[in-house]
């Protein structure tokens, strides 16, 4: 595959959580803190241990859903041991707020520099319908050409179709597109199955300054 450089006819696609966005507080700490406020005793270490398996086990509940409420309700229950509606509602609402997230350092500047050179920039994320308003509230939507959210499309990475949707909407060929994300399966395998280039965040590239430099947006 040819080398990708920022120019007209090329595109950069970014994963959201773990690449572009990061929780301001560790998820396990947020779950444990809110659970304690609601009268459920659990420690962050317990939540952190349970959380990955809870995500895996509940994943089928995302199918055909745009808001992922059933999925997140089950994740909260499995992670905290509580079925409290109030606990779930508070957690679900809190992660929709911009102050729950931080934007990766240099991300907005990188996107702006690439777009100045004619490269299209978008987000392709496995997320529910809270993502688009969240990116708008964080001031990131204006730095992007498109936002493709699995909850809106009802297609999730690593399904190649979600990357093909992004390429069509940007009017670029997959072979002229680079996707960057933190999941070897969802981001790397999925993007490459669609014919895109793919870099693993934290391995192939570790900062947005480095990303801009390697794509020719800075010297």
Looking at the fold, whether 108 and 61 belong to one and the same domain comes out as no
Measured distance CA(208)–CA(122) in Å, rounded: 14
Instruction: Specify the pLDDT at position 219.
Output: 55
- What distances in angstroms separate CA 77 from CA 53, 88, 179, 184, one per listed residue? 12, 8, 33, 27
Name the residue range of residue 169's domain.
11-20+104-214
pLDDT along the chain (219 residues), means of 10: 86 98 97 94 95 97 97 98 96 97 97 97 98 97 97 98 98 97 98 97 96 88
Instruction: Specify the pLDDT at position 75.
Output: 98
- What's 209's domain CATH number? 3.40.50.1000
Q: Count the domains in the chain.
A: 2
Residue 2 lies in a domain: no
pTM of the model: 0.95
Looking at the fold, whether 118 and 203 belong to one and the same domain comes out as yes
Measured distance CA(89)–CA(186) in Å, rounded: 28
Instruction: Specify the pLDDT at position 3.
Output: 82
DSSP letter for 188, please.
I
Looking at the fold, whether 95 and 195 belong to one and the same domain comes out as no
Looking at the fold, whether 210 and 110 belong to one and the same domain comes out as yes
Measured distance CA(90)–CA(141) in Å, rounded: 25
Q: How many other C-beta atoms lie within 10 A of the C-beta of residue 21?
A: 25
């Amino acid at each position: 595959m040819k080398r990708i450089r920022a120019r007209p006819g090329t595109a950069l696609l970014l994963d959201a959580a773990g690449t572009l966005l990061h929780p301001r507080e560790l998820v396990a700490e947020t779950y444990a803190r809110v659970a304690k406020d609601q009268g459920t005793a659990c420690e962050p270490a317990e939540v952190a241990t349970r959380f990955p398996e809870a995500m895996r086990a509940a994943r089928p509940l995302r199918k055909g859903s745009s808001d992922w409420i059933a999925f997140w309700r089950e994740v909260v229950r499995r992670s905290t041991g509580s079925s409290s509606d109030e606990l779930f509602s508070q957690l679900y609402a809190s992660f929709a707020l911009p102050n729950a997230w931080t934007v990766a350092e240099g991300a907005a500047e990188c996107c702006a520099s690439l777009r100045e050179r004619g490269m299209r920039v978008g987000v392709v994320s496995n997320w529910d319908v809270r993502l688009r308003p969240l990116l708008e509230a964080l001031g990131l939507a204006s730095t992007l050409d498109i936002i493709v959210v699995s909850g809106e499309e009802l297609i999730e990475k690593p399904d190649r179709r979600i990357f093909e949707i992004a390429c069509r909407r940007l009017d670029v060929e997959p072979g002229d597109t680079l996707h960057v994300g933190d999941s070897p399966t969802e981001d790397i395998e999925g993007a490459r199955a669609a014919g895109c280039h793919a870099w693993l965040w934290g391995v192939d590239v570790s900062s947005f300054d480095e990303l801009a430099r390697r794509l020719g947006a800075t010297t």
